[in-house]
Amino acid sequence: MENGFKQFSLKGKVSLVTGGARGIGLGIARALAGAGADVMIASRTEAQLKAAAASIYEACGRNVGTFCTDVSDLSGHAAMVEATLQRFGRIDVLVNNAGSNIRKPFLEVDEADYDTIMQIQLKSVFFLSQRVAKILKAAGGGKLINVSSLTSQIGVPNISIYGAAKGGVFSLTKSLALELAPYHINVNAVAPGYVRTAMTEAAFSDPKRLEWMLSRIPLGRFGQPEDIANAVLYLASPAADYLTGEVIVIDGGWLSA
């Protein structure tokens, strides 16, 4: 990548990726590192962080910083950001990817369920973005990239809180793009469709549902973490410097169908 098109190179840039130890987040971290970026990945599980860092080093020969934290606990944000600055000296790109889900019928959702999902999927995105945006403003600009979801634009049974939170991320992306544009901070998001990861495995457990989901995807396959990672790489790169306030849906054509 560093010897290819310069507009896609991230050499000299530093990226912080939450939820970067597995699934889509790991794919994103690997893509950014492969483009030349220094990367800090954050996750709740130390063992997964170590394995992820090793896999990224094996894939592209770059050392990756790790920080063990639960991003839903806002009190840990300052230490995570400071650790990134201490190791790499700067932050240029924040990828808000960390997330979780609770699959439950709407009539059975309780307040604890609601607070758990909203805390990690929306509140933590809001306040971590605010903290990093202040750094980017002082530095003259940068990129905020959120991971929304196809469910921000369509209804899916039994994940009402998740869909509401991701809808909030969709709207937040638009609002922050306007407010932060004067500081040369680009704010965009990706909205994955059905990507098979550890977090989404429950959606793939029913063979009939699996067949139905696949029948709705014109490209005839489910997404892979790399499909999402490549779009994030574009948004993080100089190639997307004139793009802000956009939510790129990566769903194999589901919405078009």
The residues annotated as belonging to the active site are 162
Residue 9 in contact with residue 57, Cβ under 8 Å?
no
- Give the H/E segment covering residue 188: strand 185-192
The type of residue at 119 is Q
Closest by CA position to 146, among listed 21, 14, 23, 24 = 24
Cα 80 to its chain centre, rounded Å, is 16
**The pair of three-digit structure tokens given for residue 10, joined into one six-digit string:** 């991230």
For helices 23-34 and 46-60, the axis angle rounded to 10 degrees is 40
Residue 149 in contact with residue 192, Cβ under 8 Å?
yes
Residue 183 in contact with residue 136, Cβ under 8 Å?
yes
Cα separation values, 167 from 31, 182, 235, 246, Å: 26, 25, 20, 14
Burial class of 227 by CB neighbour count within 10 A (0 to 12, 13 to 18, 19+): buried
Cα separation values, 115 from 109, 112, 161, 164, 171, Å: 10, 5, 9, 12, 19
